[in-house]
Structure 1
Amino acid sequence: MANDDMEFKVDVLGEIFSRLPLKFVVQCKLLSQNIKGMICHSDFAQTLFQRHKGTSTQLIYTVYDGAARKRFDKISLNPITQSMSTLPDEIEILASCNGLILIDFEGVRRYCVFNPMTEEHQLIPYPKSSTNDLEKIGLVVDYPKSDQYKLVTVSSLVENSNLLYKFHLLSSEQPGLWREIQLRTNTVQSLPVGSRAVYWRDSLYCLRKDGSVLAFDTKREEAILIDRPEFLDHFDLTYGKILSGQSIWLGKAQGLLTLVCIFRMYIVIAIYGSASRRWRVSHNLGNFILGPEGTINGFPVWIDNKQVSFLVQRPLTLFYDLYEYNANINMYEHAAVLHGVKFPMYCFHPTLAGAHYTPSNNIEADDQAHIAANLDDIRRFIIEGIPFQEESSSGESSSSSSSEEEQQEAGGGDAAAGEGAAGEGEIL
């Protein structure tokens, strides 16, 4: 009976704790070793992750203001609000995945994996290869399936009309060891500036300028090249090419690897099948992010649990209109007005994923104190909404017009002029 009583108490406590705000769950780990063990158990991590998924989600990004100072911005969802604060020049936000943020502390030549919720962080030296040819870096967090993460850097080198990609991989199980994996291709295509590496189903995906995709499997530690989608050439002729600016975006929406392609007449959305290794066009909608001179005035927003959203800049202003897909009416709806946004944005929602801290013996005490102070500022700004400096103020805020948090993977609508809403979606 004693064991049954203990299992009952753990079940009851687990149910109670899983409904608490995450910052209180972190504090509960201090109550006893038994409670700490329950909270750290993988089964509880799964329950906690699912229960909090889609809540307290934020989009984080960095911009330079008019005085060339770096600014750290966030857009909180549910409801939608925007706030900003200053960020030291040597700090750069590089990636976000399942509750961990990857930060570059250039002054001490270290990457930092940081969990703002638990305050854990791990400093990682740069790989020994030259950073001059570094094109992308990605953070892979396996939480809640396991409590491990991996860093992957992607660099390239042209050799005899071929392109050699070098992947440097580091695992949290061996935080001091970078391993190199190579892939040679017979085409020379760069990775677009501003596009980010996307983690999906154990692999990291990087878009190339021609629409092909570089895929690195972090479990098998091997890379492949996914061919340029066949539908691109057909739609280029049918819907008209965009001649300037970025016209293809890669991201993850509602658990699917998703490609958004902008043509003069339409926006085409495609999803990737891992088994077939092919793209399938799922939806198209009228192009409502094209400016009057034929330039793109907006970009997709990747919010993990939602259909693709879009930010569209108002002409001659710094204001952006956020459009979110409403599955109930099969249309895009105007959700909010935002100020001064920038691509790329990183989707962040808090979790208890571990950063696996180990001491950094090769960093001076002053540098460690400086890093700790900056991480505390970032934590307070992300988790508690407190600006880094007292003179910093919150940006504009507006309420979301959509109350749906759980949306189905369905079609987009044909965008119409006037209200900015979209008409019926067309599924191809």
Structure 2
Amino acid sequence: MLTPNLPQEILIEIFSWLPTKSVGKCRCLAKQWPTLLSTPQFIKSHLSRKPHQENLILITPPPSRSIYSIPTIEDNTFSRKLELPGKWTEVVGSCDGLVLLVDEEEEKFLVNPITLEQVKLPNSPLALKRGESFSMHGFGYDSLRDDYKVVTLSYYDTDNEYEPDCADTFVDVYSVKTGVWKRVENSPYDHAVPHIFCGAFVNGAIHWLASSRESGYRSVIARFDLVNDVFSEIPPPSGVDVEKFVFNKLVVLGECLCMLDVRQNDRTDVWIMKEYGLAESWTKFSICADYEYDMLKPLCFIGDAEVVLVTEGETLVVYNQKEGNLKDLVVDGLPAMFVDGGIFVGSLVSPASNVN
């Protein structure tokens, strides 16, 4: 038992090295610890300890649309059904242990899957009317303001064969710290093709695949900077078709930007940007396997050789890069099918307020 006479700074240092669930247990052991272990200073210190274990979060198909998490991906792993009321449809993204989820009513919730805290975010008063527009979301962290942000891109589809599909893409930004939506300058890109895919948060920015509005409508990786609320581009892999990679998928894999290109002949190319912003740092591995379903989204690595993916058939699979084989991932207590998935790290960050 730690002596209560230790200075607060030393206690924080000691407890910050514990796993998230162990901290929760310690909050129940001594009268002064619940307050100490809930302070913004401690939560920041605990979050800064690296590396944090990646956990999977998965949504099951209708009618249940429940959420399950997997704390580790290894032999004899297990799943846990999260008791979060609602019928969920989409995992938008995660940051510092917070996960942005969307339900079947298209309401957005910020959730900590470890503490099970859940906060409903207000709808944007600037949002386009449902049924007459398309929208896509992203979630990330503004390091300058120490603020978590939700970004929504929305547009009316003009369905014009000879012009960009969306005349204007509106950009709305929600600040978790202030609880306020604001509209910033419209996106300079055409986001119509991949409108159903969420943004990928890496290196302080949310990324979407889009098309340039210039002649030829080349594909681009559009980068939305959460500090300055502006768009720019980062270089794509040199081996992709600049006219067509807008139809690929952009995700986060191993904390790096990742592009998934599902090709013909049972082949899927997975591009990973090892050093952010450098075109020459893109590396590729290909999944060449006779499998019933196309690869939909890579989720995480297992060690150095294996990658966990969700398939178009709503199943989990593991691909071994060294052996070149693909196998189904079976987890104790986990349903067989999923409509979406993502990763998060265990943390004590509360979705109710930002950590100051």
Q: State the TM-score, normalizing by the size of structure 1.
A: 0.61
Paired residues for 1:275-424 under 5 Å: 275-276=277-278, 278=279, 280-288=281-289, 290-291=291-292, 296-303=293-300, 309-311=307-309, 320-324=316-320, 334=327, 336-337=329-330, 340-357=336-353
Paired with 1:349 and 1:199, the residues of 2 have a C-alpha distance of 14
Q: Give 1:70's aligned residue.
A: 65
Q: Give 1:250's aligned residue.
A: 250
Contact 2:70/2:79 (<8 A) preserved: yes
Contact 1:14/1:38 (<8 A) preserved: yes
Q: Give 2:194's aligned residue.
A: 191
Q: Give 1:45's aligned residue.
A: 44
Match for residue 61 of structure 1 among 33, 36, 59? 59
Distance 1:169 1:42, change over 3 A: same
Structure that is richer in helix per residue: 1
Contact 1:153/1:168 (<8 A) preserved: yes
Q: What amino acid maps onto 1:156 in structure 2? A: Y
User: SS of the counterpart of 1:63?
Assistant: coil
Q: Give 2:209's aligned residue.
A: 207
Alignment size in residue pairs: 328
Contact 1:299/1:312 (<8 A) preserved: yes
The alignment yields a C-alpha RMSD, in angstroms, of: 4.4
Gaps spanning 5+ residues in structure 2: where? Answer: 212-217
Distance 1:73 1:324, change over 3 A: farther
State the Cα distance separating 1:54 from its structure 2 match.
Answer: 1.3
Query: Is the aligned partner of 1:170 residue 2:174?
Result: yes
Deviates more, 1:29-38 or 1:119-128: 29-38
Gaps spanning 5+ residues in structure 1: where? Answer: 359-428
State the Cα distance separating 1:70 from its structure 2 match.
Answer: 2.9
Q: What amino acid maps onto 2:112 in structure 1? A: N
Deviates more, 1:279-288 or 1:196-205: 279-288
State the Cα distance separating 1:71 from its structure 2 match.
Answer: 3.5
Contact 2:91/2:102 (<8 A) preserved: yes
User: SS of the counterpart of 1:347?
Assistant: strand
Contact 1:298/1:310 (<8 A) preserved: no
Q: Give 2:186's aligned residue.
A: 182
Distance 1:297 1:112, change over 3 A: closer
State the Cα distance separating 1:353 from its structure 2 match.
Answer: 1.4
Output one character per residue of 1:139-179: Cα deviation in whole Å (capped at 9) or x when no partner: 21469x98631111111245783432211101122103333
State the Cα distance separating 1:221 from its structure 2 match.
Answer: 0.5
Distance 1:70 1:103, change over 3 A: same
State the Cα distance separating 1:261 from its structure 2 match.
Answer: 1.9
Distance 1:184 1:342, change over 3 A: same
Paired with 1:282 and 1:336, the residues of 2 have a C-alpha distance of 25
Output one character per residue of 1:269-292: Cα deviation in whole Å (capped at 9) or x when no partner: 32335444x37541333512654x
